[in-house]
Chains A and B, each alone.
Chain A
Amino acid sequence: MSSSNASNERPAWVAHHFDTAGQQVSSAKLGMWLFLATEALMFSGLFLAYFLIRKLHPDMVLVASEELNKAYGGVNTVVLIFSSFTMALGVRAAQVGNQKSLERNLMITIACAFIFMGVKYIEYSAKIHHGLLPWNFFDMEKAAHHSAALASFEYTPMFFGIYFTMTGLHGLHVVIGIGVLTWILIRARRREFTPDNYVAVENVGLYWHIVDLVWIFLFPLLYLVK
């Protein structure tokens, strides 16, 4: 092991407790995938709650889900899929060292996240306006005025409970996503990433893709019950 080859030089960004750059990168990815596994477990509890509610009250879920706007839900699905696409292109730009493309794709991804939250704001406002809120906050009078069918089921507040909890936790992830993507954009602008050192971009990308994954399941379950 006495080779003095240039590739053996230790890059400045490798922390002292790692033997090689590859070891540092794979450790970072290992931690990220472990975190993604816990994210899947966390959301699984809410999905199971949804399936039980749907099993126990199929007619109520069918009527209540018709209150959700399929067009807004569909637009948000396309926005998130597109942002996942630009995020993947951003990681690729970091891999090949295309600085301009990296910054542009990160900015488009952040813009999509804001569009998603904007549409969500419009949707939430309509629900709040009609008194369609979770559990005790559900306004049966307003709901009955809005739709008699909705108020004919005793457990309608349960559907809006699971709707707000699931989309709320997902929306929180989108907001956190805006934060970490902005952090990565700032670091990208400081030219901190190179074709060898881009694992932070990749890990934030993995996080953003899992946000998209959760929505891929939420959309048909909440909006397209029929």
Chain B
Amino acid sequence: MSEYVFLNGKRVENPHESHHHISPVIVYVAVFAALLVLTGLTYAVSFANLGPGSLPVAMLVATMKASLVVAFFMHLAYEDRFYLFMFLTSLVLIALFFGFVLFDVNAAGALNDEQAVGVPRLEEGLKASETAPVAGEVEAPAPDAGH
């Protein structure tokens, strides 16, 4: 056996001591109750007619529920912080992924217009395909001989 023992990159002073955190049952019951209350809140939000505000509010409540599950059911509040670091890294990557794609979808049309690049916007492309047959009918009467 080597002289030092390392766990997740850190040297451990007493490698043979086991130290599991055991939460009292009441913590799990409290978290379960909080999750039920927040589920009720999610329901209430959907009937509150918040309009465009309903999506961020619903996501906020869902994030609160997720945080409770991760911290207490998944023990991340008591674990070596290295696991939290790894999990948060994946969330940072997701934020980058969402951020760049949504920025592109929001801004690409305007930027292309500005530079006079002939790339149809996604929305306009879809609208154009919907209205195409109508436009054809309007123009049809003039060059009738073509038929």
Binding between chains A and B? yes
Binding site for B on A (CB under 8 A): 1, 5, 7-8, 19-23, 26, 29-30, 33-34, 36-38, 40-41, 44-45, 48, 51-52, 54-56, 70, 74, 77-78, 81-82, 84-85, 87-89, 92, 95-96, 154-155, 195-196, 202, 205-206, 209, 212-213, 216-217, 219-221, 224-226
CB of A220 within 8 A of CB of B105, answer no
7 contacting pairs across A/B (C-beta < 8 A): A19-B2, A23-B5, A26-B8, A48-B98, A48-B101, A88-B28, A216-B69
Other A-B pairs beyond A22-B15, A81-B39, A209-B69, 12, CB < 8 Å: A30-B86, A44-B94, A52-B105, A56-B122, A74-B39, A74-B43, A81-B32, A85-B32, A155-B126, A209-B74, A216-B65, A224-B43
Give Cα A26–Cα B46 distance, bound, in whole angstroms: 42
Contacts A92-B25, A209-B74 hold; do A19 and B87 have CB atoms under 8 A apart? no
Mark B1-43 against chain A: 1 for CB-CB distance below 8 A, else 0. 1110111100010011110101101001101100110010011
Contacts of B29 in A (CB 8 A): 85
Contacts of B55 in A (CB 8 A): 54
Segment from B76-84, B112-120, B138-146 that makes contact with A: B76-84
B145 shortest CB reach to chain A, Å = 33
Give Cα A212–Cα B75 distance, bound, in whole angstroms: 15
Give Cα A88–Cα B69 distance, bound, in whole angstroms: 10
Give Cα A209–Cα B67 distance, bound, in whole angstroms: 11
CB of A26 within 8 A of CB of B80, answer yes
Contacts of B123 in A (CB 8 A): 56
Contacts of B39 in A (CB 8 A): 74, 77-78, 81
Q: How many contacts A-B (CB < 8 Å)?
A: 147
Count B-side interface residues using an 8 Å CB cutoff.
63
CB of B5 within 8 A of CB of A19, answer yes
Contacts A84-B69, A217-B62, A221-B58 hold; do A19 and B15 have CB atoms under 8 A apart? yes
Is B102 part of the contact surface with A, judged by Cβ < 8 Å?
yes
Partner of A220 from B62, B122, B130 at Cβ < 8 Å: B62
Give Cα A219–Cα B94 distance, bound, in whole angstroms: 20
CB of A33 within 8 A of CB of B83, answer yes
Give Cα A154–Cα B97 distance, bound, in whole angstroms: 28
CB of A1 within 8 A of CB of B3, answer yes
CB of A220 within 8 A of CB of B61, answer yes
Give Cα A225–Cα B59 distance, bound, in whole angstroms: 11
Contacts of A33 in B (CB 8 A): 83, 86-87
Contacts A74-B43, A89-B25, A92-B28 hold; do A154 and B130 have CB atoms under 8 A apart? yes
CB of A48 within 8 A of CB of B97, answer yes
For the complex of A and B, 5 pairs with smallest distance between CB atoms: A224-B46, A37-B90, A220-B58, A85-B32, A44-B94
CB of B42 within 8 A of CB of A8, answer no
Mark B92-129 against chain A: 1 for CB-CB distance below 8 A, else 0. 01100110011001000000000000000011001000
CB of B73 within 8 A of CB of A209, answer yes
CB of B5 within 8 A of CB of A22, answer yes
CB of A20 within 8 A of CB of B28, answer no
Give Cα A5–Cα B15 distance, bound, in whole angstroms: 13
